[in-house]
Amino acid sequence: MSRDTRHKDRAPRRSKLKQTLALALIGALGVGSADCATQRAPIDQRGPNALRKSFFVGANLRDATDDPEFYVNNFVVDAPASQELVPVGTYDDVDRIRWEIQENFLIARKAYEFITNSDGHGVRGRTENGIIVAVYKIESHFDVRPAYNSTTGEEINVIVENTTDRLWYDREFMRVDWSQNLVENPGWQELFFGGLFGEIQFQPVRYTEQDPTSPFAPHLSEMTADAHQPGGYFDVTSKWLVNPADNLGWGIPTCIIVNYYLGSDTWDCNPQETTIRTSFRRVEDRDFEPMENTQAPYDFVGGPSAIRNGWDQGYGTVDQNFHRFQMVHNLWQRSHLDGPNGPLACATNTDANNDGTADECAVAAADGQVHAGSVCDTITQKCTIPYRERQIRPITYYINPEMPPEFQDHVELAATAADGAV
């Protein structure tokens, strides 16, 4: 065999070897690429109950003008069965608050002037300055972000609570100690039956319910870090020592008067422990029509009422600026008419032609119609939708787990009667 022939025979074999090596290399690269494409889930080192600050104070953390308002209510959920000073089931009036976030405290403040046109405290502005209702300690301010190499800035596949990169008031999240309301003696005199007979003092007790299945466990899920579209409700539970103090300066403890009045054989005047659930719900525009009952209180509608006083610069609080509003359910989907450029505005109920429609409301609404019978809601200064045109809003009632089953039929009869009245 010649030399040229041997060379020609080896050439195909070398070509096949190169092809084999190339395919092996491509296969290895393919396996490596597939392995790189599968990214491991990050290690989450966040603690529980990380709360978005925007839930409390809106998107602008430095300016209070966008702060949402919240309803707040306190309800006694547990108390000693042998004592009547702090009976289970009592509650105080619903209030409206806005939140203020300080470096060490989360503060709930009244969202209005306690006395209208007096000192401006509670009027919406760049900072919150309303009367303090509750104070909770803030444990930390932080951002949620990947950890990183402090030298190179390269991110690591670990999610952490970052407490260093931004100032505390710019960090997006916080953790709050809900175990104790730091307002030592809130105005809850009317919350307890014993308050009818004399002074009662309140002292907070540090308390955290660890069992999530307990009826006293807090409900915070709607404002946690994982809630991209948080709802508007949460509640926390606190314990208090209720101390029956002196009865109207007579030197007789309030508990003695209460027990004597009730004919009780229990004369224990030590501070009593009570558990209170404090509920918060974000205020939404539900087009509510207030019901003022200043001139004839309780003649038309009984039950709880909200009292507002107004300030006169020359005379202080005067009867002319006093208003009493009934606490009633919002029965209607909508109560006011829309105009071409917003609510149909009005100021008085003048009816010159006595046709039952306020003159300022006898104009075309947004739908192009004149709604006969519309009157002026002088509190909100909007024209109302006549009752015959309103749509009913369902009202839901809830019963306690402790309600005896033999009461169920009577509860359903009451609900049916209420539905029939509407």
Q: Write phi, then psi, for 241 (nearest 5 degrees).
A: -95, 120
Beta strands in 163-249 (DSSP E): 173-177, 200-205, 233-244
Distance CA 138, CA 172 (A): 13
Q: Write phi, then psi, for 337 (nearest 5 degrees).
A: -85, 145
Q: Where are the alpha helices (DSSP H) in 285-393?
A: none
Q: What is the pLDDT of residues 197-242, one digit of tens each?
A: 556 777 888 888 888 888 888 888 766 545 445 568 999 998 888 7
- What angle is formed at CA 244 by the lines to CA 242 and CA 249, rounded to 5 degrees? 145
Structure tokens given for 177: 């100690």
Distance CA 266, CA 281 (A): 39
> Hey, CA dihedral for 380, 384, 385, 390, is it positive or negative?
positive
Provide the 3-class DSSP secondary structure of residue 222: helix
Q: What is the pLDDT of residues 248-269, one digit of tens each?
A: 556 666 666 666 666 665 556 6
**pLDDT value for 227:** 47
Provide the 3-class DSSP secondary structure of residue 336: strand
Distance CA 400, CA 386 (A): 37
The DSSP line for 136-175 is: EEEEEEEEEEEEE-TTT--EEEEEEEE-SSS-GGG-SEEE
Distance CA 7, CA 23 (A): 25
**pLDDT value for 400:** 74
**pLDDT value for 414:** 83
Name, in order, each residue with C-beta under 8 angstroms of 220's C-beta and a sequence gap of 6 or more. Answer: 49, 51, 178, 234, 236
> What are the CA-CA distances from residue 281 to residues 23, 24, 72, 219 (Å)?
65, 64, 7, 12
Distance CA 351, CA 223 (A): 49
- Please give the helix or strand (H or E) that residue 32 lies within, else none: helix 3-37
Task: Name the percent of the chain in helix, strand, coil, to the closest 5.
Answer: 20, 30, 50
- Please give the helix or strand (H or E) that residue 419 lies within, else none: helix 408-421
Distance CA 203, CA 156 (A): 47
**pLDDT value for 106:** 97
The answer to whether the CB of 386 falls within 8 A of the CB of 373 is yes
**pLDDT value for 104:** 97
Q: Tally the C-alpha atoms within 13 A of residue 269's C-alpha that lie toward its C-beta.
A: 14
Name the one residue in this structure whose structure tokens are 């004592």: 83
Q: Where are the alpha helices (DSSP H) in 38-134?
A: 53-57
- How, if at all, do strands 272-282 and 95-101 pair? unpaired
**pLDDT value for 121:** 92
Flag residues of the chain having pLDDT under 50.
2, 7, 34, 193, 225, 227-228
Alpha-carbon Rg for the chain, nearest whole angstrom, is 33
Distance CA 289, CA 330 (A): 8
